[in-house]
Amino acid sequence: MLKTEKVLLKIENTIATVTMNRPEKLNALDIELWMGLEEAATAIKHEPNVRVVILTGAGRAFCAGLDINALASPEEMFTSLAFRDAFEGVQYFRSVFSMYESLAVPVIAAINGPCIGGGMEIALACDIRLASNNTIFSIPEVTYGIISDCGGTQRLPRVVGPGRARELIFTGRKIDATEAHRIGLVDHIYQPDQLMSEARKLAEEIAALSPAAVQAAKRALNVAMSCSLEIGLNYESAISSKFYK
């Protein structure tokens, strides 16, 4: 049981489902929801039976981004959370999303509706992205005179390529699920009433395989996203050799 009801964690057999639960606010991120995501990731990290995670949103949205109305000014917010400065505060919020990327097990984003700003950034930290066909994506921070600071400028180019990432980030433009699939932002599109069942089906397929092999593959894939080819190849060789002893 988590301390907040703004994030729900359900573990069934080997599959954990994390649900952002502010449906009346389209699951917009406030501090309590952010901390709930942190708590859920920590709980999963210490639950060895979990083999796959599904991350989704309650109601008709995945996550509409930062809830500006629910937060104090940046200075007041960082001070209230005992951060020394804005850099340290931004690092904390980004680190919560990174926890899902660094979980030992695969994380599937089931994106059910608007996926905006911080919502898109946490989806980018997931391993596989499935979307309902009514989803809208945007990373609009520049339209507010700021930049995305929870991984958007770093992860989006790795997912869709630098050119498309620049266009989306520089314009803040909204795209639909079909365009997101075309550019590789999402891997599959489903009808809204099929999304969670398809996410569960994929999770069960992965969970049925060797957890040691799947988790080793995730570590190697994460290295591939952040290191040179030569380093990645050497890491792959090193980690795969352990399976032949």
User: For residue range 218-242, what is the model confidence (pLDDT) as tens digits?
Assistant: 999 998 888 888 887 877 888 887 7
pLDDT tens-place string over residues 21-77: 999 999 999 989 999 999 999 999 999 999 999 999 999 999 999 887 766 555 555
Mean pLDDT to the nearest integer, 182-194: 98
Neighbours of 117 (CB within 10 A): 23
Helix/strand number for the chain, H first, E second? 10, 9
Answer yes or no: is pLDDT of 109 > 80.
Answer: yes
Mean pLDDT to the nearest integer, 163-188: 97
1 neighbors 193 (Cβ within 8 angstroms)? no
Catalytic residue among 121, 205, 230, 236: 121
CA 152 to CA 124: how far, in whole Å?
Answer: 8
Residue 47 annotated in active site:
no
Task: State residue 59's pLDDT score.
Answer: 97
Residue 121 annotated in active site:
yes
Catalytic residue among 75, 76, 141, 236: 141
- Determine if the pTM surpasses 0.85: yes
CA 117 to CA 171: how far, in whole Å?
Answer: 13
